[in-house]
Structure 1
Amino acid sequence: MFRSVESLKGCTVAASDGEIGSVEELYFDDEAWGIRYLVVKTGNWIDGRRVLISPYSVIRMDPGGLSVYADLTRQQVSDSPPVDTHQPVSRQHEAEYHRYYGYPAYWGGVDVWGMSSYPAFSRAALSAVSPETLAQLALYGDKLPGDGHLRSTDAVDGYHVAAADGDVGHVSGFIFDDEAWTIRYLTVDTQNWWPSGKEVLLATEWIFLIDWYQSSVSTQLTRDAIKDSPAYDSRIPLERDFETQLYAFYGKAGYWSEERASLRLKEPGGAAFAAP
């Protein structure tokens, strides 16, 4: 099912023994567009500090999206490694976080979640290979902070969208798959470039550069192509029929197609990034 990132903001996050807090923003991986963490503002029980909740721990969400349920206890969250959400989250901190919760590393694999397209894993299977997993995580123990690829959706919201032949609008939102926890589309508002413009979807795989200095997202699609692409109505749930129409308009194979599945291992890992 597709959801907007905006719909998650303010949602209650519940542990097995009570509420943890509410979703404030999301951190995504700027290489694979996987949503790696919910940034949750806790209540007074741990002084209102912000904690990271991984999709690895999410067991379900309400149909209305008002609550997120995590397979954690409040004590686990309270004792989790501290994080300064005002600074970039480093791979070093991620390694510490994953060691604490016993999660597999998502980085270094061939898919969005390491060896899988989904943030699901078997603790029994993981324990059987824990020495190798711990060795992999240990590789990042000596790295300097700031070497990760995590960015806040709040930071990218509003970025200018640059087509092959000029600006075409700005990022107005994010659409993610709530099973794969992957951002599939940016919503782009074209009205600041085209007065009678509309909101359109831009697949994240069509983005080749995010420039943090210029606050811009770049695609090799042209302005005319984006202008003529199917209009997106956020009031209507996004379905595969619309995705098929969108990909067909641009003459591209959908990420769900058999053709793409056979080429998955040969595709590049993601966009390039001009990081600060």
Structure 2
Amino acid sequence: MLVSFKQLKHFSIHATDGDIGGCRDLLFDDQDFVVRYLVADTNTWLPLSRKVVISPISVTELDLDGESVHVSMTAETLQQSPSIDEHKPVSREYEETLFQYFGYGYYWIGPGAWGDFAHPGELADGGAGEQEPESDTPKPENHLRACGEINGYDVQTSDGDLGHVCDFVFDTTDWALRLVVIDTRNWLPGGKKVVVTPTALRVIDWSSHKVDVAMDQNTLQNQPEFDAGRLAEEGYLQSLIEKA
């Protein structure tokens, strides 16, 4: 199932015993290009400046019609999960604590984006998490980026800036980032929204608020045009990828 970041920002999050707020943001891995966490909007039920993240490992259903994400935990379980400050990044140390709390296998142990597994849900019962790293082994860094932060970044090509990032498209089968949507209308008369695959991204620079893509302006403006209304259409994603 395909879903865009703009869609998910309007989704509510449902625990096994009721509503626990809405989806505020997504954190994706800029190396494996998969969603690592949904950031929950907790302002109504948790102290201010506390950030709560939910791994796709917990997601049991994504209801497009009902605009809701269902997770395999109670509201109290989420409320008692390890806390992180709103203005601090999600560190690998925090991830270890979080995954131990939920009893999940570590996605960073194994060859793939989800360790030894193809789908995040397979880590729900421990999985590769039983392979504890040695305590004196240096902890690898994660590579998390917030969609809400990058959304709006200018796009830099090999011969100048053109457009800005305006959306992201994910496949919820494995929560992979499939497409980045770029709006060129503020830069070119008669511009349009086009898509690139994540492999086209060379650098995401938070200091300059730019995304560097591996193509020139002409190639970018001739990328496939994006139509959000067709995301549910069978074969639409593949047709865009083939043209990108």
Q: Distance in 2 between matches of 1:231 and 1:204?
A: 16
Whether contact under 8 Å (2:104, 2:125) holds in the other structure is no
The verdict on how the C-alpha distance between 1:29 and 1:21 changes in structure 2, with shifts beyond 3 A counting, is same
> Are residue 200 (structure 1) and residue 197 (structure 2) matched?
no
Gaps of 5+ in 2: none
In structure 1, what residue type is equivalent to 2:16? Answer: S
Q: How far is 1:64 from its partner?
A: 1.7
% identical aligned pairs = 34
Residue of structure 1 aligned with 2:222, choices 228, 243, 246: 228
The verdict on how the C-alpha distance between 1:92 and 1:31 changes in structure 2, with shifts beyond 3 A counting, is same
Q: How far is 1:226 from its partner?
A: 1.8
Whether contact under 8 Å (1:156, 1:215) holds in the other structure is yes
Report Cα offsets for 1:107-139 as digits up to 9, x if no partner.
Answer: 24322212223212165573xx6542xx23856
Bigger mean CA offset, 36-45 vs 213-222: 36-45
| SS across alignment from 2:78 | helix
Q: How far is 1:238 from its partner?
A: 5.8
**Alpha-carbon RMSD:** 2.5
Report Cα offsets for 1:28-76 as digits up to 9, x if no partner.
Answer: 1121121111111236444464311111001002132511111001221
The verdict on how the C-alpha distance between 1:246 and 1:70 changes in structure 2, with shifts beyond 3 A counting, is closer
1:124-273 alignment runs, 5 A limit: 126=127, 131-132=130-131, 135-136=132-133, 147-237=141-231, 239=233, 241-250=235-244
Q: Aligned residue pairs: how many?
A: 243
**TM-score of the two chains, using structure 2 as the length reference:** 0.88
Q: Distance in 1 between matches of 2:217 and 2:24?
A: 33
Whether contact under 8 Å (2:57, 2:124) holds in the other structure is no
Task: Please name the residue that 1:116 is paired with.
Answer: 117
- The structure with the greater share of residues assigned to helix is 1
**TM-score of the two chains, using structure 1 as the length reference:** 0.79
In structure 1, what residue type is equivalent to 2:74? Answer: T
Q: Distance in 1 between matches of 2:129 and 2:169?
A: 34
The verdict on how the C-alpha distance between 1:65 and 1:32 changes in structure 2, with shifts beyond 3 A counting, is farther
In structure 2, what residue type is equivalent to 1:33? Answer: F
In structure 1, what residue type is equivalent to 2:170? Answer: F
| SS across alignment from 1:115 | coil
Task: Please name the residue that 1:18 is paired with.
Answer: 18
Q: Distance in 1 between matches of 2:43 and 2:205?
A: 35
Gaps of 5+ in 1: 251-276
